[in-house]
């Protein structure tokens, strides 16, 4: 479906499903919050014509489209210490959903004060090694139903795992010593049923290369 379609033309079930797919992607990417997603999804499945469907995705990129490149005048360097990575602002996205699918947050992104994710027969990856943090303490709430979430944190970050597993599990990362001064605290909560939430520590890719050269 496109905006060039005749507004009064009747929409098909496939048209409504395509709009729903765009809305699900927008929710997973943080472009819509849960209330907006539910409202638009309900409107999509009630829609009878293209004219009713078009406004629901007009302000969203099409499914599979590349996000526009955004440049910032000033961006704190990852290697400049923890002080430069605690932004005190908002996050890049506040949540992610994977229903028989997957999601990932990796590279340069900002972890909000509270991030919520949900997987059902799907999987997700949250890589915090190159991330900034909206606050000195952030909470990641994971609900995994017959699915899983993998959280990767860099050394020096304090991690507290408080999730509950029922025929599932929340893994604790290995202890690499005391937290680094100024490092954020990551609290992982949630619920796993026939699923799991794994937490591991890994060096950022840039530092892994330096470590290999230094031990050669």
> In the numeric block, which tokens belong to residue 203?
């060096």
Cβ(124)–Cβ(96) below 8 Å: yes
Cα gap 55→36, rounded to integer Å? 13
Cβ(120)–Cβ(100) below 8 Å: yes
CA angle 79–80–82, rounded 5-degree value: 95
SS3 assignment, position 177:
coil
pTM of structure: 0.59
Cβ(186)–Cβ(160) below 8 Å: yes
- What confidence tens digit (pLDDT) does each residue in 67-109 have? 444 444 444 444 447 888 999 888 888 999 999 999 999 999 9
Domain locations in the chain as residue ranges: 13-57, 83-215
- What confidence tens digit (pLDDT) does each residue in 159-211 have? 999 999 999 899 888 776 788 889 999 999 999 999 999 999 998 876 655 44
């Amino acid at each position: 479906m496109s905006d060039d379609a005749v507004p009064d033309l009747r929409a098909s079930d496939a048209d409504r499903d395509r709009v729903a797919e765009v809305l699900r992607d927008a929710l997973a990417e943080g472009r819509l919050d849960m209330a907006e997603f539910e409202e638009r999804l309900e409107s999509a499945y009630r829609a009878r014509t293209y004219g009713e469907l078009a406004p629901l995705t007009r302000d969203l990129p099409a499914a599979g489209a590349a996000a526009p490149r955004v440049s910032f005048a000033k961006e704190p360097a990852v290697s400049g210490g923890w002080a430069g990575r605690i932004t005190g602002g908002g996050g890049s996205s506040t949540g992610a959903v994977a229903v028989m699918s997957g999601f990932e947050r990796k590279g340069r992104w900002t972890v909000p004060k509270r991030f919520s994710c949900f997987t059902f027969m799907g999987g997700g990856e949250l890589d915090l090694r190159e991330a900034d943090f909206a606050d000195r303490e952030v909470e990641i709430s994971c609900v995994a139903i017959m699915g899983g979430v993998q959280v990767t944190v860099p050394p020096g970050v304090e991690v507290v795992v408080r999730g509950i597993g029922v025929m599932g599990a929340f893994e604790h990362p290995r202890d690499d010593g005391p937290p680094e001064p100024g490092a954020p605290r990551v609290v992982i909560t949630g619920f796993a049923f026939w699923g799991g939430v794994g937490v591991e520590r890994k060096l950022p890719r840039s530092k892994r290369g330096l470590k290999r050269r230094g031990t050669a």
